[in-house]
Homo-oligomer: A and B are copies of this chain.
Amino acid sequence: MSAENSDALVISSDPLHPANLIPELCRSFYQLGWVTGTGGGICIRVGDKVFIAPSGVQKERIEPTHIFVLPYPQPPPSPHTDRVFLRRPTLKLKESACTPLFWNSFDLRAAGSCIHTHSQHAVMATLLWTGPVFTISHQARQMIKGVRIAGTGTALSYLDTLEIPIIENTPNEEDLKDSMAEAMVKYPNAAGVLVRRHGVYVWGNDWEKAKTQTECLDYLFEIGVKMKLAGLPTVLNE
């Protein structure tokens, strides 16, 4: 089967098929301001197949036929192969520059989906929390409880302090792979990784969990930023 024309992998009448979900979710993320100007996106892994949107395109106008499909895990690299695909769009589209970072969530957390946003709430959080971690506590119980330990485990307790590591930005997205992986090892309970002046990566067991956790975290970044700017404490001691 040629990777170039295997449309069967992305053509489905099921609205919950990953190739249909990714365009729909990206349109919704565009409304939320998460994927402005071609940035950001979502990947979905179903068993041994990973569905990823192309890079550098208007995320609110993706079609199912634009989706890349990759095998998971990837075959061992050889001198002759770079990344291996089950399907590439026939259009001249590039794979997402986020691919190596999404892969971290599969390799280190067995995630089923990973979302990357450029939400201004996430970016402002990385500017106002100048250290290596964003912390907030006692906020909107359901928001904190909506976040799972390590992104894929049990729900946090309202009495836990939420911690999301912040890594430094780099000129090329691919170069974030190692520092993201390090942060995931150092903060094994974190459901996401912030990138300074850039955005956030959040993962979950499936697309629903990845999406709702991204919403919870984005909510917490937003309210945290508002609290900081209003001079309110964001972590309480009890």
Q: Establish whether residues A123 and B223, one from each chain, have CB atoms under 8 Å apart when the complex forms.
A: yes
Overall SS of chain A's interface: helix
In angstroms, Cα B146 to Cα A226, docked, is 28
Would you call A7 an interface residue if the criterion is a C-beta within 8 Å of the partner chain's C-beta atoms?
no
Q: Which of A180-238 contact B (CB under 8 A)?
A: 197-199, 208, 211-213, 215-216, 218-219, 222-223, 226-227, 229-230, 232
In angstroms, Cα B144 to Cα A171, docked, is 10
CB distance from A14 to the nearest CB of B (A): 15
Q: Establish whether residues A169 and B173, one from each chain, have CB atoms under 8 Å apart when the complex forms.
A: no
Q: Establish whether residues B138 and A58, one from each chain, have CB atoms under 8 Å apart when the complex forms.
A: no
Would you call A88 an interface residue if the criterion is a C-beta within 8 Å of the partner chain's C-beta atoms?
no
CB distance from A20 to the nearest CB of B (A): 14
CB distance from A226 to the nearest CB of B (A): 6
Q: Establish whether residues A37 and B141, one from each chain, have CB atoms under 8 Å apart when the complex forms.
A: no
Q: Which residues of B contact A173 (CB under 8 A)?
A: 141-142
Q: Establish whether residues B146 and A39, one from each chain, have CB atoms under 8 Å apart when the complex forms.
A: yes
Can you spell out 26 A-B residue pairs with CB atoms less than 8 angstroms apart?
A36-B143, A36-B218, A36-B219, A37-B143, A38-B142, A38-B146, A39-B142, A40-B142, A56-B146, A58-B208, A118-B140, A118-B219, A120-B219, A120-B223, A123-B139, A123-B223, A124-B230, A127-B227, A127-B230, A138-B169, A141-B169, A142-B173, A142-B198, A158-B171, A158-B172, A229-B230
- Extra contacts, 15 of them, besides A128-B232, A158-B169, A229-B230 (Cβ < 8 A), are A37-B216, A38-B212, A39-B142, A39-B143, A56-B146, A120-B226, A123-B223, A127-B230, A128-B230, A138-B169, A141-B169, A141-B197, A142-B198, A157-B171, A158-B170
